[in-house]
Every structure is written in structure tokens, then in C-alpha cells.
Amino acid sequence: MREALSATSVAMPAAKVGWYRWRICGLLLAATTINYIDRQVLGVLAPHLQGEIGWNEIEYGYIVTAFQAAYAIGLVTAGAVIDRLGTRVGYALAISVWALAAMSHSLAVSALGFAIARFVLGLGEAGNFPAAIKTVAEWFPRRERALATGIFNSGSNIGAIVAPLTAPIIAVTWGWQAAFLFTGLLSAAWLITWLATYRTPERHPALTAAELAYIRSDPQEPTTRIPWAQLLRHRQTWAFVAAKFMTDPIWWFFLFWLPKFLNAEYGLTLTQLGLPLVLIFVLADVGSIGGGWLAGRFIERGWSVNRARKGAMLVCALCVVPIVFALRADNLWLAVALIGLATAGHQGWSANVFTLASDMFPRRAVASVVGIGGFGGAVGGMLIATFTGLLLETTGSYLPVFLMAGSAYLLALAVVHRLVPALEPARLDEQDGPG
């Protein structure tokens, strides 16, 4: 019956064919939220734990680097594993690992213990974005993918909001260990829901025939897997890697050092960090959805995918530039506004960068490409974590990092445009080198 639907049904507006795909997007949003609560709890508690455990700036940099190193290692394999196992099993495996790792932080009593826990957490959390991007490619037609990506990617900001609201209260009331245990329970609840409800569109009993036809309204694609060696021959892969390598480290800096920055520059205590961090990441949430919406709006106005995607990325990149003035802000709330604008720009940029993968590659390769690009971003994160720790221990100044943040996105966009000036899909049957 589903195969027999007419072309008229395929062309029907989304509002008339069902909304179940957006429930799937809601599951991705919830997973990404939990993912970022897990990784953000350490950043929120870092000023308190630094005094209690006794690590210095360099050791904290190494703790963050341990997470980034594992994240990079995990992304080398996560995309390929998820492409092989499928999103249902692959996502479940990833969240099981990171749930156990998050709870293991409660057992740490030294910088080394935290580094080990962070390493395992990074291995598990590496599966989130390859799985989510692949799920979007499976459940949404091309024209809706940027918005769906922006929505689930906003979970990174929601998680960054929930963590400073809840972690200090839990830590003060029941001890810092309880804050890490709490995140593990959230992961377990999501895992049960995912396994009970998720199936691919063709196998999902709740999906109508009309909505399936709408989801599959793009031209049919082959289903055979593509080896990494073949993907690395293409300029499109390197454009995605470059965008992630140059800009992901800035987001990692926001996550792991903003609480320490606000503590050092404005004297905010553990219980005072909540409101400034919430405002910063609320703006980031707006940017995540807004960046995806903006690209879709440009396409609706008749712009090409190339012009729309890069136009939205340019707007987002320009939003980050003013962060160079945040260190010289004469009051807390001006600094919060400038940093919040930058986080909004990053998340809008990120929604469009993730969508580049599905713009340029077929569904069967998306998770692998996202994994390769995420590896590049994690390597960049390792470099900035070690650099920031050494910088702060020796100079105490955040200025060089803020200068890098302000320029990274425009430089990354220039590199992307140089590699894929027309944003053409990769011709996977040809040897299109990165030059």
C-alpha cells in the first residue's frame, strides 16, 4: 500500500501527512540534552571541586583533554558502528556507556580519577551526534533536515541550562557525588523509552503511509556502506572536517571554562553561577533553532542550498566576533550578553554545519562523515584544552582564547567555501581528491 501512493500524496504539505517524525526529533532532543548535562556538570562544579580535590589549572586542562581524546577515539569508530548496527541499537549502546561513565565520577577522589571517568564518558558520548544525524537523515526529507538538526542540537544548550540550575542545588544538598549520579538516572530513563518506541520509518507501526511517502520524497539512494578510505578522497569530507576542527574547540571552551571564567573575573560562587549561565545558554538555544530556521527560510525564498547554507553560516559567524570585547566588559551582564551572542552564533553555525553532511552525502554515509568530522573537532578540543590550562596557569589571561573565538568561524567559512564553492554532493563513484 505504501509503495502505491501517488505522486500527489508525496507532494502534500507536511501538515497534512502527519507529525510522527517530530516525535522522533523530540527523542533526539532529549538524548542530546542528557548528553550535555552529563558533560557540563563537571564544568559547573569545577570551581568547587578544584578547591576540594586540589587540582591546578594544568591538571584541569588534562582532565578536559582526557574527555576530548576519548571523544576523538570514539568518533573514529562511532559513525561506522552506527552505520553497521543501525540507529536503534547503536544509540542504545552509546548511551549505556556514557550513563555508567557519568555515575562513575562519584567515585573519583583525585585528578587522575576524574580523568579516567571523563575518558570513558567521552567514548560513550561520541556516539550521540553520529546517531542523531543519521536518524534525521532517515526520518526527514532534505528540506526539513536543517530545522530538525537545529531542534535536537538545541538540547546541547538545554543541557547546559539544566546543569547549572540543578547541579549546585544537588551538590549543596546531598554532596557533589549525587550530581553525577542524577545524570546517570536520566540516561537510563531515556534508554528504556528509546528501546520501547524506536523503529526505522519503514518498520514503525505508528507511521502513516502518507508520512512515510513524504519522508521518502527525495530521490532514492543506494544502501551499500561506503568505506572511510573512499570518503576521505572527497573535498566535501575535508570541508566538513575543517569546519568542525576550527570551531568545535570554541564550544568546548564555553562548556568547560565559562564557570571558571565567571568565578575568576566576577567572583561568582557555585550558587551564583546559575542565572548567568542560564542566560548564556538560553541565547545559545535560540541560536541553534534560529540558525536552522534561517537556512530553511532562505531556501523557501528561492535561494540555492549552497547560498542559503553559507549565508546562514555567515550570519552566525558574525555573531561570534564581538566576543573579543567580553574580557574588557565593565560589568557582568554586558559580558554575559556578548558571550551569549557568541554561543547563539556557534549553535546556529553548528546546526548548519551538521546539515552539510546530509547536503553533500547520501544517508548511508552520513554517520561516518559526522564521525570523521567530530574526530577533527575533538582533536581541536584537545589542543585548546591543553593550551587553555597552560595559558591560565602561566598568565591567568583569557584574552588569547577570546581572540581565537572571534576569528575562528569566519576563517572556517572561508575554508569551507574554498573546498566546496558550489556545495555539490560528493560523487562517491569518482576519486575526487581534497585538493
**What distance in Å separates the CA atoms of residue 112 and residue 89, rounded to the nearest whole number?**
32
Name residue 393's amino acid: E
Domain definitions of the chain by residue range: 15-419
**Angstrom distance (rounded) from CA 356 to CA 413:** 12
DSSP letter (8 states) at residue 313: H
Q: Three-state DSSP class for 11?
A: coil
Task: Record the cell numbers describing residue 70, joined without a space.
Answer: 576519548
Contact at 8 Å (CB) between 73 and 13? no
* Per-residue pLDDT, 205: 87
> What are 46's three cell numbers?
569545577
Burial 41-61 (b: 16+ CB within 10 A, else e): bbbbbbbbbbeebebebbbbb
pTM, 2 dp: 0.74
Q: For residue 388, what are the CA distances in angstroms to 134, 166, 279, 406?
A: 33, 27, 24, 16
Q: What is the C-alpha separation between 86 and 366, in angstroms, rounded? A: 12
Termini Cα distance of the chain: 47
pLDDT at position 289, please? 83
Full pLDDT tens readout for the chain, 435 residues: 333 333 333 344 444 778 889 999 999 999 999 998 988 898 888 888 887 888 888 888 899 889 989 988 887 777 778 888 889 999 999 999 999 999 999 898 888 999 999 999 999 998 898 899 889 988 998 888 878 887 887 887 788 888 888 998 998 899 889 999 988 889 999 999 999 999 988 888 888 888 888 888 877 766 666 777 788 899 999 999 999 999 999 998 998 889 889 988 888 888 888 889 889 988 988 898 898 889 888 988 989 989 999 999 999 999 999 999 998 888 899 999 999 999 999 999 998 998 888 889 887 787 778 878 888 998 998 899 889 989 988 898 899 999 999 999 999 999 999 999 998 888 876 544 444
Return the CATH architecture of domain 15-419: Up-down Bundle (1.20)
pLDDT score, position 154: 80
- Note whether 240 and 372 are within 8 A (CB): yes
Distances (CA, A) of 331 to 262, 298, 328, 338: 11, 37, 9, 11
Q: How far apart are CA 387 and CA 399, in angstroms?
A: 13
329 and 316 Cβ atoms separated by less than 8 Å: no
pLDDT for 378: 85
